[in-house]
Amino acid sequence: MVSNEIELMRKNLINMAMKHGVNAIETIECSQKLDILLLKEIKWNNEHYFIKKENK
């Protein structure tokens, strides 16, 4: 899981937005990286949910 990475990226995104503004390219790029991490986490959770469900 990437939970720790998500939390670090979330904090980084907040700092970027405060420093550069929400429309700055740095903030948008950071937001996109966070989106990728969130999607990875969702995918991992879904895969493991269905594996557990099939084994019951």
Sketch the domain layout of the chain as residue ranges. 3-54
Average pLDDT along the chain, 56 residues, taken 10 residues at a time: 89 98 98 97 86 66
Is residue 34 a contact partner of residue 6, using CB atoms and an 8 Å limit? Answer: yes
**Amino acid identity, residue 6?**
I
CATH architecture of 3-54: Irregular (4.10)
Is residue 28 a contact partner of residue 17, using CB atoms and an 8 Å limit? Answer: no
- Residue that is written with structure tokens 């990875």 in the block: 40
Question: What is the reported pLDDT for 47?
Answer: 86
Question: What is the reported pLDDT for 22?
Answer: 97
Helix axes of 3-20 and 25-54: crossing angle, nearest 10 degrees = 160
